[in-house]
Amino acid sequence: MPLILTTAFSGICVFYSSGQETNPVTPPDNGSIANIAVPTVGALSSGNARDIFTIAAGLNDNATMVSAIKACGMESGLRSKGAITIFAPCNSAFSKLPPGFVDQLMKPENASILNKIISYHIIMGNHSSASLKEAIKAGKGRAVFTTLTGNKLIATIEENKIRLTDDGNNACFITMSDIKGNNGTIHVLDKVALPR
């Protein structure tokens, strides 16, 4: 009989059977999730500056995020679209997810679910850590950002660090900030945010 391991991402389960065979991640109860494309916001600047995906691929601790972006088909969108901010979970952030969960998400049949998770880490606009803090200050200690999925991330300050709270009330902290590309900014997170 399979063991069901649920996560904070509503409706997703990873199934393990005693025979070590794993089945695909089941989609959320609300039906199929359409792939979420990064919308076009404007032309990129010309010159030698590198796009945000190339920058992410060059970071030592973002291999899992880069692999996930490729697996769900978002690479070209992140290379060519402008004015976006990525909150990129580091490798150890992905390793905090339940065992086998990331491997299941990377399978082609789960690309739409992976797309939603990655898109939940992206907001429109080029947001530096200073502008995030300004938004938090303007919101009297709290700023709400809408991600590409339409879900919210709530930004606050805790112990002088920017904290992002996901739909499940889980906290992620920015551990490295203001990594600039020619079409946006990357901030590295210590956990993976999960939408409902």
- Tell me which DSSP letter residue 115 carries: H
Spell out, as residue ranges, where the chain has pLDDT lower than 70: 1-49
pTM metric for this prediction: 0.76
CATH class, domain 48-189, is mainly beta
- pLDDT on residue 77: 86
- As a whole number of angstroms, the distance between CA 6 and CA 14 comes to 7
What residues contact 136, with CB distance under 8 A and at least 6 apart?
A: 142, 143, 155, 156, 157, 162
- pLDDT on residue 127: 96
- As a whole number of angstroms, the distance between CA 37 and CA 28 comes to 19
Task: Pull the structure tokens for residue 3.
Answer: 């063991």
- pLDDT on residue 79: 84
- As a whole number of angstroms, the distance between CA 159 and CA 66 comes to 29
- pLDDT on residue 17: 30
Domain positions in the chain: 48-189
Can you say whether the dihedral through the CA atoms of 100, 32, 195, 175 is positive or negative? positive
CA dihedral 45, 77, 135, 149 (to 10 degrees): 160
- pLDDT on residue 153: 96
CA nearest neighbour of 171 among 181, 183, 159: 159
Q: 119 φ, ψ to 5°?
A: -65, -25
- As a whole number of angstroms, the distance between CA 119 and CA 81 comes to 13
CA nearest neighbour of 36 among 6, 78, 3: 78
- pLDDT on residue 193: 94
- As a whole number of angstroms, the distance between CA 63 and CA 122 comes to 17
- Tell me which DSSP letter residue 135 carries: H
- As a whole number of angstroms, the distance between CA 177 and CA 130 comes to 10
- pLDDT on residue 71: 94
What residues contact 137, with CB distance under 8 A and at least 6 apart?
A: none
- pLDDT on residue 22: 37
- pLDDT on residue 15: 35
Task: Pull the structure tokens for residue 40.
Answer: 């076009």
Label the pairing between strands 184-189 and 84-89. Answer: parallel
